[in-house]
Amino acid sequence: MVFARHGGGARADLAAIASQVHPVFMLPPIAASWFGSMLAGEFSLLTGAIHATAIFAAVYTAHVKDGYVDFYGRGEDDDHPLSERGCERALAGAAALFVLCLLALAGRVDAWAALLTLPCWLIGYHHAPQLDTNPVTTTTGYPAGIALAILGGYYVQAGTVGTSALSFALVFLVLLSGVKVIDDEQDYAYDKSIEKRTVAVAVGPERARQSAYALMVLSLLLVVGLALVRVFPPSSVFAAVAFGAVAAVSRRADSEIATMLLVRGSYVFLALLLAATWFRPLS
């Protein structure tokens, strides 16, 4: 077995490798990369695809490393599809793919394009066990990756970082930080038992939930304010209204259902912002 912990042959290895592809968490960063590209206006599909592939490699790295640490390092998980050696090989393969993408971006754009993309891999690789033990970095790691994907996607097309890209990155950083606090609340009892300091463990579930929704409200107010000053298209307000409705419903749900609603609401939020930016129906 080259990769798989259970079974043998190429099929078992491919299944073990594929097990670390989690679409719910992978699609938003990749979509954020393309969102950044589209914000730039006219864009190269090839350059956008290279950047999106780099983001995929970074998130894949995060998933493999997280599973490796949780099962082989901390003993938290009951099972893992990749062998210990398989995890190491998968990490090496993802890193090699990421480096190839960086070299391609440096060649097609410039060195700054590669440097702006590099932190996405650093966040993914260091998520466990370094970044996931502190309330701030546990909460902001994934949202920061989304924000950087937007900025990088924009830069590789435009060769600069514009005000709109910075503003969208900020909105998603704040909004998804709030969602992440709710997500971490699901594991409050277990995290507390192993002294893993999420926001819920640090301040308690009730205050954590209050802070989470405060962050989400702040992000939606940012959208409205930026639409009023024409940094965002006016129709961006519809995205804020749609997510606000989902957030209002989720407040009455437990952390598991609330997370499910908020994650899917984030997809709708991104889609409506993309439509507002690309088609500008009210402009």
pLDDT tens by residue, 14-46: 999 999 999 988 999 999 999 999 999 889 999
How large is the average pLDDT for residues 58-80? 90
Q: Residue 283: its pLDDT value, please?
A: 58
pLDDT tens sequence across 86-115: 999 999 999 999 999 999 999 999 999 999
Choose between 76 and 127: higher pLDDT: 127
| Euclidean distance between CA atoms 161 and 11, whole angstroms | 43
Q: Any idea which residue has 């893992």 for tokens?
A: 80
Side-chain half-sphere CA neighbours of 3 within 13 A: 20
Residue 186: pLDDT band (50, 70, 90) is: very high
The answer to whether residue 201 scores a pLDDT higher than 90 is yes
Q: Which amino acid is at 233?
A: P
CB atoms within 10 A of CB 213: 18
Alpha-helical runs (H) found in 127-235: 135-158, 163-185, 188-193, 199-203, 205-228
Give me the amino acid identity at 49. A
| Mean pLDDT of all residues in 205-222 | 97
- Average confidence score pLDDT of the chain: 93
**Which amino acid does the sequence have at 126?**
H
What's the Rg (C-alpha) of the chain?
19
Locate tokens 């491919």: which residue?
Answer: 14
Q: What is the pLDDT of residue 70?
A: 85
pLDDT tens, position by position, 244-271: 999 999 999 999 999 999 999 999 999 9
Q: Rounded distance, CA 54 to CA 59, Å? A: 9
Instruction: Show the CA angle centred on residue 175, arms to residues 171 and 176, nearest 5°.
Output: 115
**Mean pLDDT confidence for 110-134:** 93
Q: Count CB-CB contacts under 10 A for residue 271.
A: 14
Rounded to two decimals, the pTM is 0.94
Per-residue pLDDT at 1 exceeds 90: no
